[in-house]
Chains A and B, each alone.
Chain A
Amino acid sequence: MTENFLYMLAPIMSSKIFLILLLGTLFGLILGILPGLGPTTGAALVLPFTMTLEPLSAIILLTSIYCAGTYGGAITAILINTPGTPAAAATCFDGYPLAQKGEAARALGMATFASAFGGIFSVIVLIFFAPILANIAYEFGQPEYFALAIFGLTMLASIGEGSPVKNLLAGTFGILLSTVGKDIMTSVDRFTFGVGQLTEGIGFIPVVVGLFAISEMLVQSTLTNQIFKRVAMKAVKLPTKEDFKYCFKTILRSSGIGTFIGILPAEGGTVASLIGYAEAKRWSQNPSKFGKGAIDGIAGAETANNAATGGAMVPTLALGIPGSATTAVILTGMIIHGLRPGPDLFKEQPEFLYGIFGAMFFANILFFIMGFFGAKLFARITLIPSRLLWPMIFVLSVCGTYSLNQSFSDVLLMMIFGVIGFVLRKFNFSVVPIIIGLILGQLVELTLRQSLVIFDGNYMLFFTRPIVVTFFVLSIIALSFPYLKKIKKK
C-alpha cells in the first residue's frame, strides 16, 4: 500500500515527468478551449511524439491532456457560448447566461472548482476500483472477454450523440475496418484489394486524426462566417461560501454520476455531463432558474464530465476496453509502447499504473491552478481566427500521421477518413463509435474465434457461462435503453 502511494508520487518526484505533466495539462487546456479541437484530437496529434518518451511519461502526457482538455471546454462554453469540447455542451445552458449577466468570473470559478473536484473524486475511485475490477477479470476467459466486448459495443447505442441505430451502424463499420489486412489467426488477406500497405491493416492514428481533426476542419470551412461574441471577464472567482453550500450536494451527486457513467464502456464525458445537468435540475431548489444562469447547473455538468475521466480509465486499464474516445487513443498509446492493459498489468507493473493514477490526480490540481489564475489569459485563445489555426492543425495532422510509419499512404487514409467523417457528421452520425469499433474489433473477432475453438464450434455453450450470460443480458438492456427511455417519456 505504502509502495503504491510512493509510485503515485512519481509524477511530482521526477522533474522530467513533472515537466511532461505540466506541458500535457497546459496543452490539454489550450486544446479544450479551442472549439472543434478537444482531448481526443489532441491526444491523437501528440501520440507520435510520445514515441520518443518512456512508456510512463508517454501515458502521463496523454492522460493529462485528457483531464485538462475536458475542463478547458468549459471556458469557451461560458465565455462564447460554444462548447470547446462536446462534453461541455451542457455547461453552455447556464454558463453563458450567467456570463451575460456580468458573472462570468463566478461561473468560471464554479466550473473550475467543480471540474477539479469531480476529477479528483473519480481518480480516487479509479485507485480503489480498478484493481478490484482487474482481479475480477482474472476469472475471465475468452468467452467472457467476447461478451464484455459485445457489451461495450452495444453501449454505443446510448452514447447520446446521434441515433442509436446510426451509432450501432458506425460501430459495426469500425469493427469491419479492423478486419482489413492479414487475418491474425490464419494470415489470409482480407479487403486488401491487392494494395500492399493494407496487409498490415488500417492504422488507428490516420483514422482518429481523419475522423476528428480533418473532418472538423471541413466542418469549420462551412462555419467561417460565424462571429463569436466573447463575454469580457476580469478574473476568476472562487465559489463563495453560499455558492459552495448551495452546490455541494450537486457536486457530490454529479461526481458519483460522472464516475459511474465513465466506467461504463464507450460512454464518456458528454453523456455524463448531460445526465449530471439533468439530475442537478431535478434536485435543484430552483429548477426554474435552469437555462437562465443557474450556478448549480454549471456545477452539475462540469463535475460530471470531469468525473467521467477517471471513470473511463477504469475499464481501459483493468480490462483493455476503452471507456471513451480519448481513452481509446490512450489505449492505443499503451499498445504502441508495448503495454497490454488488463489484470496482468496490475500485477506486473504496479509502478506504471499508480504513476498514471498519481499523474491524473496532479493533473486535476494543476488545471485547477492554471484555470484559476490563467483563465483570463487562456480565454484569449478563443480569439485565434480559424483561418490561421486550422492550416496549422492540418500541418500537425499530416506530419503526425506520416511519422508513425513514415508512409504517405497513411496521410491519404487520414484525408479519406476526414471526408468520410464529415459526410457522416453531416447526416448526424457520431464518429466516436467508429473509433471504439476499430479498437474493439480485433478483440471481438479473436475472442469469438478462440471461444469457438474451446466450444468446438457450438455457439450454445456461450450460454452455459454465467458471466457471459450476464454480459449478454446487459447488452440487451443497453440496446433497448434508448427505446425504454422514449417509452418512459411518453
Chain B
Amino acid sequence: MNKVKKLKKGRLNSALFSLNPEFFLLLFIYLFCIVTYMSSLYFDEVPAILVRGIQPATFPKGLIILIAFLNSILTYLYFTKKIVSNTILPTLFYKTIFAFFVFVLISHFVDLFLALIFFSFLISYWWGEKNIILILSLSIVFPLLVFVLFETVLGLRFPAGILTNLYYN
C-alpha cells in the first residue's frame, strides 16, 4: 500500500516538476476544451421558431464536454498507472519540422514549385543522401513531373510565383 502511495506521489511530483510531455498533452487537451467551449458561447443563437431540434452551439458543446470527460479518465489513468513514454526525439525530427516552416515561407512568399524543390533537396540531404547530383536531379525532376501532370491532366492552376509565372507566361 505504502509503495503504491509512494508511486502515486512520485508520479505526481514527476508530472508536475519534470515537464513530462504526456502530462502536458493532457493539460493541452483541457486547454483546448476551455478555448473551444468559450468560443462556442459566442455562436449566434437562432430564434425559437427557427431552431431545428437544438441550438447550433449545443451539439459542439456536448462534444467538448465529452472530450473533457474522456480526458479526465486519461488523467486518472496517468496518475494511477505507470505509463512509460519515450519522447526523446532525434535532431532530424526538428530539422524536418524546420524544413516544413521553410517550405511554407517559400511557397507563400516566393513560389510553390521552388518550395517543393527546396524542401525535397533539404529533406533528402538531411536524411542522409550525400549524392548531390542524385538529390538535385530528383528534387527538380519529380516536382516538375507532378506539376506538369496536375497541370495537364487535372487542369490545375498553381499559385503565382517566380518559376510558376515563367511556365504560365
Contacts of A476 in B (CB 8 A): none
Surface stretch bound by B, among A22-30, A118-126, A318-326, A393-401: A393-401
Binding site for A on B (CB under 8 A): 21-22, 25, 29, 36, 39-40, 43-44, 46, 50-54, 56-57, 59-60, 63-64, 66-67, 70-71, 73-74, 77, 85, 87, 89-90, 92-93, 95-97, 100, 104, 107-108, 112, 116, 119-121, 123-124, 127-129, 134, 138-139, 142-143, 146-147, 150, 153-154, 156-159
Provide 23 A-B residue pairs closer than 8 Å at the C-beta atoms, listed in order of the A residue: A48-B150, A52-B154, A165-B73, A165-B77, A169-B74, A172-B67, A175-B63, A191-B36, A221-B90, A221-B96, A221-B127, A224-B128, A385-B128, A391-B120, A391-B138, A392-B120, A395-B142, A395-B146, A408-B159, A427-B21, A427-B85, A448-B54, A449-B52
Task: Name the one of B60, B112, B116, B138 contacting A179, with C-beta atoms under 8 angstroms.
Answer: B60
The verdict on A419 contacting chain B, using a C-beta distance below 8 Å, is: yes
Interface majority SS (helix, strand, loop, mixed), chain A: helix
CB nearest to A394 among chain B residues: B119
CB-CB under 8 A for A190 and B97, given A176-B60, A224-B92, A412-B104: no
A165 with B70: CB separation less than 8 A: yes
The verdict on A245 contacting chain B, using a C-beta distance below 8 Å, is: no
Q: How far is the CB of B149 from chain A (nearest CB, A)?
A: 8
CB-CB under 8 A for A191 and B60, given A222-B90, A224-B127: yes
The verdict on A423 contacting chain B, using a C-beta distance below 8 Å, is: yes
Task: Name the one of A172, A406, A448 contacting B70, with C-beta atoms under 8 angstroms.
Answer: A172
The distance in angstroms between the C-alpha atoms of A188 and B161, with both chains bound, is 36
CB-CB under 8 A for A387 and B123, given A403-B150, A450-B53: yes
Contacts of B138 in A (CB 8 A): 388, 391-392
B92 with A452: CB separation less than 8 A: no
Contacts of B60 in A (CB 8 A): 176, 179, 190-191
B36 with A402: CB separation less than 8 A: no
The distance in angstroms between the C-alpha atoms of A450 and B116, with both chains bound, is 46
Contacts of B95 in A (CB 8 A): 221
CB nearest to B154 among chain A residues: A403
Contacts of A380 in B (CB 8 A): none
The verdict on A183 contacting chain B, using a C-beta distance below 8 Å, is: yes
B46 with A188: CB separation less than 8 A: yes
B46 with A186: CB separation less than 8 A: yes
The distance in angstroms between the C-alpha atoms of A404 and B65, with both chains bound, is 33
Task: Name the one of A172, A186, A387, A452 contacting B127, with C-beta atoms under 8 angstroms.
Answer: A387
CB-CB under 8 A for A179 and B123, given A48-B154, A217-B96, A406-B156: no
A179 with B93: CB separation less than 8 A: no
The verdict on A457 contacting chain B, using a C-beta distance below 8 Å, is: yes
CB-CB under 8 A for A387 and B124, given A168-B70, A190-B40, A415-B104: yes
A406 with B90: CB separation less than 8 A: no
Contacts of A395 in B (CB 8 A): 116, 120, 142-143, 146
Q: How far is the CB of B34 from chain A (nearest CB, A)?
A: 14
The verdict on A228 contacting chain B, using a C-beta distance below 8 Å, is: no
CB-CB under 8 A for A391 and B87, given A191-B39, A427-B22: no
Q: How far is the CB of A409 from chain B (nearest CB, A)?
A: 11
Q: How far is the CB of B28 from chain A (nearest CB, A)?
A: 9
The distance in angstroms between the C-alpha atoms of A415 and B150, with both chains bound, is 20
A218 with B116: CB separation less than 8 A: no
Q: How far is the CB of A461 from chain B (nearest CB, A)?
A: 12
CB-CB under 8 A for A394 and B123, given A172-B67, A173-B67: yes
The distance in angstroms between the C-alpha atoms of A225 and B97, with both chains bound, is 18
Contacts of A445 in B (CB 8 A): 59
CB nearest to B159 among chain A residues: A408
Complex interface bits, A221-241 against B, C-beta within 8 A gives 1, otherwise 0: 110110000000000000000
B92 with A221: CB separation less than 8 A: yes
Q: How far is the CB of B82 from chain A (nearest CB, A)?
A: 14
The verdict on A386 contacting chain B, using a C-beta distance below 8 Å, is: yes
The distance in angstroms between the C-alpha atoms of A387 and B124, with both chains bound, is 5
A388 with B43: CB separation less than 8 A: no
The verdict on A426 contacting chain B, using a C-beta distance below 8 Å, is: yes
B43 with A189: CB separation less than 8 A: yes
The distance in angstroms between the C-alpha atoms of A355 and B54, with both chains bound, is 41
The distance in angstroms between the C-alpha atoms of A453 and B49, with both chains bound, is 12
Among A454-472, those with CB < 8 Å from B are 457
The verdict on A281 contacting chain B, using a C-beta distance below 8 Å, is: no
The verdict on A1 contacting chain B, using a C-beta distance below 8 Å, is: no
CB nearest to A217 among chain B residues: B96
B53 with A452: CB separation less than 8 A: yes
Q: How far is the CB of B165 from chain A (nearest CB, A)?
A: 16
Among A251-294, those with CB < 8 Å from B are none
Q: How far is the CB of A271 from chain B (nearest CB, A)?
A: 21
Contacts of B139 in A (CB 8 A): 391
The distance in angstroms between the C-alpha atoms of A266 and B63, with both chains bound, is 19
Contacts of A381 in B (CB 8 A): none
Contacts of A217 in B (CB 8 A): 96
Q: How far is the CB of A403 from chain B (nearest CB, A)?
A: 5
A169 with B50: CB separation less than 8 A: no
CB nearest to A142 among chain B residues: B53
The distance in angstroms between the C-alpha atoms of A179 and B36, with both chains bound, is 12
The verdict on A106 contacting chain B, using a C-beta distance below 8 Å, is: no
In this complex, the member of B74, B77, B108 whose beta carbon has the largest number of chain A beta carbons within 10 angstroms is B74
CB-CB under 8 A for A221 and B93, given A385-B129, A452-B54: yes
Contacts of B56 in A (CB 8 A): 183, 185-186, 188, 190
Can you list the 3 inter-chain pairs with the closest CB atoms, starting with the nearest? A452-B53, A449-B53, A387-B127
Complex interface bits, A165-181 against B, C-beta within 8 A gives 1, otherwise 0: 11011001101100100
The verdict on A51 contacting chain B, using a C-beta distance below 8 Å, is: yes
